[in-house]
Amino acid sequence: MAVSVFQACLASLFLLLTAVTGLPQTFDKRAPSTPLVFAHYMLIEQPPNGDYTNDITLAKGAGIDAFAVNYGGWNADWTQLEAQLDKFYTQALALKFKLFISFDLTSVTDPAMIVNLTNHYASHAAQLQIEGKPMLSSFQSDPPTWDWQNDVLSKLTSKPFFIPGTLSDDASSAFSDVDAFADGIFPWIHNDLTTTEEAATDTAFAGNRTTTGKKWMATVAPWFFKRYNADMNWANKQDDGIFIHKWLHLLKLKPDFIEIVTWNDWGESSYIGPANTTPEDANGGAYWSYYSHEGFLKMAKIFIKAFHAGKSSVSVDRAEEDVFMFYRTQPALTNGVNKTLPLPDNASYMHDDVFVVGFLNASASITLTSGANKPFTYTAAAGVTKKAVLFALGPQNLCAEGAGGFHVNKTGTQISGQWADYNGNVVAL
């Protein structure tokens, strides 16, 4: 009897606290305080047959919470894009997945378009809601010509959870610029910073997030490389540090959200989703966009699990064990046979290595055989490890053996001394 009275008192106290504080009576582990992971989805880059089912299924399987749908792009057909967005939301709803719009301000120049589309999808069942508000974001290289508060936010039927983008690496000014009207800031990857410089930038954003009380949506990219013309001919200074090192650092910094940039920007080699399937003659020249990045998505799944759990490091379950490799398929400083352009910017920062990444529950023996080089064998410790092994021309083979029957055997695309056209993208498997 005494126990039941005590329990009744506890229940009454909990209900009182609920009424006073507004706390939910049922704890939701997907509450706003839970860190979420998004992937930036280029709507203008369509999947096969315009069907988003496979992309959504893969993203859900990796633990991604929503797609940030990049609305805009080069030579965008706005009528077509609007229809594609509607289909995307419809399919996301059927698959119980969430979306939000990230307006691409390099092409979206009319604030009325932002107002109309944001209002239209604000209450859609597939729209991501944060703290009871529809999520809204943007990608921008420069501040827009309009005023966010007066030209957009004040005209919305529902107050959004607004996190605009920036290319700035100055955390203090980036937060200050949006302090009056936004809930946080979304800094893009800085491909002209080294891994060390990017880490320092992220640390600064984490610090300013704390002092301003705003949210910080950090970014992580699998790779960056593009080579369209003299103005768009660059690689990234972070080279092999851009993905693994960044994830490990962000786990320690604990941003509010992480956005993977991107799911499918084939033109910049920054995709973790399926590689480009468009026939090359209809691809606008992005001949480098056909290499598989499936290894990056599999690695991301393990990092996302750790981030969701609030961990500062990665613990690998036995069922998750794997060993990956990623590498460019040509020497960094050898131009293509055609030589229509000079070597890409930042080429000197890239290393002619195969990067071997272990996600291990226990130590394992790993052997990489690169071309005609003698097989390189080493013991990798449990957890996440990365080893750079000098590459040689020819096929690439990765083997691993560990406890409990753990076994890996992967063969990747061959490395050539010189392709017809320079290719700075990587294979990841």
- Among the listed residues 228, 300, 231, 304, the one whose alpha carbon sits nearest the alpha carbon of residue 269: 228
242-270 residues labelled b (16+ CB within 10 A) or e (exposed): bbbbbbbbbbebbbbbbbbbbbbbbbbbb
Checking if the pLDDT of 10 tops 70, the result is no
pLDDT at 372 over 60: yes
Q: What is the pLDDT of residues 135-164, one digit of tens each?
A: 999 998 888 999 999 999 999 999 999 999
Find the mean pLDDT for residues 300-324. Answer: 97
Residue with the larger pLDDT of the pair 278 and 11 = 278
pLDDT > 90? residue 11: no
pLDDT band at 7 (very low <50, low <70, confident <90, very high): very low
Which pLDDT band holds residue 279 (cuts at 50, 70, 90)?
A: confident
- Percent of the chain at pLDDT > 90 equals 87
Residue 427 has a pLDDT of 98
Tens of pLDDT, residue by residue over 52-78, are 999 999 999 999 999 999 999 988 999
Q: What integer pLDDT is reported at residue 283 of this predicted model?
A: 62
Determine the pLDDT at residue 282: 62
Phi, psi of 34 (to 5 degrees): -75, 130
Confidence of residue 18 (pLDDT cuts 50, 70, 90): very low
**What is the sign of the dihedral through the CA atoms of 165, 59, 56 and 93?**
negative
Is residue 260 helix, strand or coil?
Answer: strand
DSSP assignments along 271-304, one per residue: -SSPPP-S-GGGTTT-TTTTS--HHHHHHHHHHH
Give the model's confidence band at 33: pLDDT under 50 very low, under 70 low, under 90 confident, else very high: low
Give the angle subtended at the CA of 290 by the CAs of 354 and 106, to the nearest 5°.
Answer: 105
Model confidence at 93, pLDDT cuts 50, 70, 90, reads very high
Measuring CA to CA, which residue among 145, 123, 137 is closest to residue 165?
137
Return the pLDDT at 339. Answer: 86
Percent of the chain having pLDDT more than 70? 91
Cis amide prior to 106 (ω within 30 degrees): no
Residue 400 neighbours by CB distance under 10 Å: 21
Q: What is the DSSP letter of 237?
A: T
What predicted TM-score, i.e. pTM, was given to this entire model? 0.91
